[in-house]
Amino acid sequence: LDEIAIPDAVTEILPSTFAYCKSLETVDLGNVNKIGRDAFFGCDSLIATDCDGIVVEEGNESLILGNLEDEEK
């Protein structure tokens, strides 16, 4: 699994949903407005492109924001 599009009916990604999906590169977040703790933990290939307006549970922000910062360099 290297790409996934979250259906528009889904508004929350639960904790650990995609944890350790090491080949996951892109996620279309659709209408997601909340990402649970460690939802993408261990997804070393993931590049997040748009997290505006999404509530990220404490402890998860470094994974998402860290990848965004790396992409901007």
Q: What is the pLDDT of residues 13-41, one digit of tens each?
A: 998 899 899 898 888 888 888 888 888 88
Confidence of residue 62 (pLDDT cuts 50, 70, 90): very low
**H or E element in which residue 28 lies:** strand 26-28
Share of residues in the chain with pLDDT > 90 (%): 14
Q: What is the pLDDT of residue 11?
A: 92
Query: Is the pTM above the cut of 0.75?
Result: no
Q: Phi and psi (nearest 5°) for 68?
A: -65, -40
Q: What is the pLDDT of residue 69?
A: 42
- The answer to whether 25 touches 45, Cβ cutoff 8 Å, is yes
Share of residues in the chain with pLDDT > 70 (%): 66
